[in-house]
């Protein structure tokens, strides 16, 4: 059932959040840490966060043979794998280089079968018009085509961006952004957004600023802010996706923006403290529970050795 805005600023509940984006093998690198590979991609991380916050969610993405076993390997009640497309070939991979402060310096990307993501997502939208949608505006998706369909055919939707491609994709998204229920950006992306669109035309804008927290603007007016209570050190890849998924789930459930933002900031902090999701092998199942440990880590149904951190390498 589509959600409709109420005069209190609350949202009525929706059945499922479909998250359009990538699922990938991520290789974050920091100057002071050993390199490792982990399971990532905004479609998965936003969906996982939404599910943990109480909203069923489906990643809408295309992966290759190397991740074809994901539906049986990453298990969480409410996580719907029916929108996953599997094609012959390799999944997307991202090598993300950070500075010592956790700032993203550069990204090396191989898209693999993710280049088929736009057509896959368009078919999903046409078949599931009653879902709420979140579009992770990333290459190689055709953001303009997807937004045009979401505005004309689907109901409530939201968007976020990724700094390495934001300068290209924000201008492409501008004609449809005023129709988005929520827009998520970090501070650097916000500067690009403010050059491209009238911020007062956006119904609800969430701006994150790393360890300094996040704030919400409604039609350009600040209405909420939240910061983590203590400094957090750990894996920052996916923290913004986690905040977005949590915020969306809480807002769709009827929470006010300040409550949803506090929940999102807390979830992002827990994500940073937790062990990253390893890339599972076909024989390993990772059962991720909504009753997540206080350190934010996942739990497995297999032996303790399968729950250890990913192996490091060059």
pLDDT tens digit sequence for 232-255: 666 677 899 999 999 999 999 999
| CA–CA gap between residue 143 and residue 157 (Å, rounded) | 13
pLDDT tens digit sequence for 214-229: 999 999 999 999 998 7
Q: Higher model confidence: residue 58 or residue 286?
A: 58
Q: What is the mean pLDDT of residues 155-179?
A: 95
Strand partners for 29: 97
> pTM for this structure?
0.83
Read off the tokens for 44. 């998965």
Q: Higher model confidence: residue 191 or residue 153?
A: 191
Strand partners for 137: 161
pLDDT tens digit sequence for 79-104: 999 999 999 999 998 887 777 766 77
Angle in degrees, CA 224, 51, 6, rounded to 5: 45
pLDDT tens digit sequence for 171-185: 999 999 999 999 999
pLDDT tens digit sequence for 7-49: 233 443 568 999 999 999 888 787 877 677 889 999 999 999 9
According to the model, what pLDDT value does residue 29 have?
A: 80
Nearest Cα to Cα of residue 177 among 192, 164, 163, 188: 192
List own/partner pairs for 269-273 with CB under 8 A and 24 or more apart.
269/228, 269/232, 269/239, 269/296, 270/242, 270/294, 270/295, 270/296, 271/49, 271/235, 271/238, 271/239, 271/242, 271/296, 272/232, 272/233, 272/234, 272/235, 272/236, 272/239, 272/296, 273/232, 273/234
Q: What is the mean pLDDT of residues 93-119?
A: 83
Q: Where are the beta strands (DSSP E) in the chain?
A: 17-20, 24-29, 35-36, 38-40, 57-63, 74-75, 84-86, 92-98, 104-110, 132-137, 157-161, 182-186, 205-208, 214-218, 221-226, 286-287, 312-313
Read off the tokens for 190. 């916000």
Residue 6 in this model has a pLDDT that exceeds 70: no
Nearest Cα to Cα of residue 255 among 294, 286, 216, 200: 216
């Amino acid at each position: 059932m589509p959600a409709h805005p109420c005069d209190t600023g609350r949202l009525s509940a929706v059945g499922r959040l479909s998250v359009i984006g990538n699922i990938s093998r991520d290789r974050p690198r920091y100057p002071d840490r050993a390199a490792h590979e982990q399971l990532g991609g905004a479609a998965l991380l936003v969906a996982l966060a939404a599910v943990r916050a109480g909203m069923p969610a489906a990643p809408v993405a295309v992966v290759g043979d190397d991740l074809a076993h994901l539906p049986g390997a990453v298990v969480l009640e409410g996580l719907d794998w029916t929108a996953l497309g599997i094609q012959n070939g390799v999944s997307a991979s991202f090598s993300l280089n950070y500075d010592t402060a956790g700032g993203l310096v550069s990204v090396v990307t191989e898209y693999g079968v993710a280049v088929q993501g736009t057509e896959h997502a368009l078919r999903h939208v046409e078949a599931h018009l009653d879902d709420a949608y979140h579009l992770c505006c990333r290459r190689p998706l055709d953001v303009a085509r997807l937004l045009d369909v979401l505005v004309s055919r689907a109901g409530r939707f939201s968007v976020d961006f990724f700094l390495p491609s934001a300068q290209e994709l924000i201008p492409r998204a501008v004609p449809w952004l005023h129709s988005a229920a929520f827009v998520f950006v970090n501070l650097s992306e916000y500067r690009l957004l403010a050059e491209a669109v009238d911020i007062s035309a956006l119904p609800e804008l969430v701006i994150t600023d790393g360890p300094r927290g996040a704030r919400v603007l409604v039609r350009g007016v600040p209405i909420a802010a939240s910061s983590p209570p203590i400094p957090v050190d750990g894996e920052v890849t996916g923290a913004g996706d986690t905040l977005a998924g949590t915020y969306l789930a809480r807002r769709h459930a009827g929470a006010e923006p300040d409550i949803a933002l506090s929940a999102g900031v807390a979830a992002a902090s827990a994500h940073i403290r937790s062990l990253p999701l390893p890339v599972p092998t076909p024989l390993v199942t990772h059962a991720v529970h909504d009753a997540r440990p206080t350190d934010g880590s996942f739990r497995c149904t297999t032996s303790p050795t399968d729950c250890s951190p990913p192996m490091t390498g060059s």
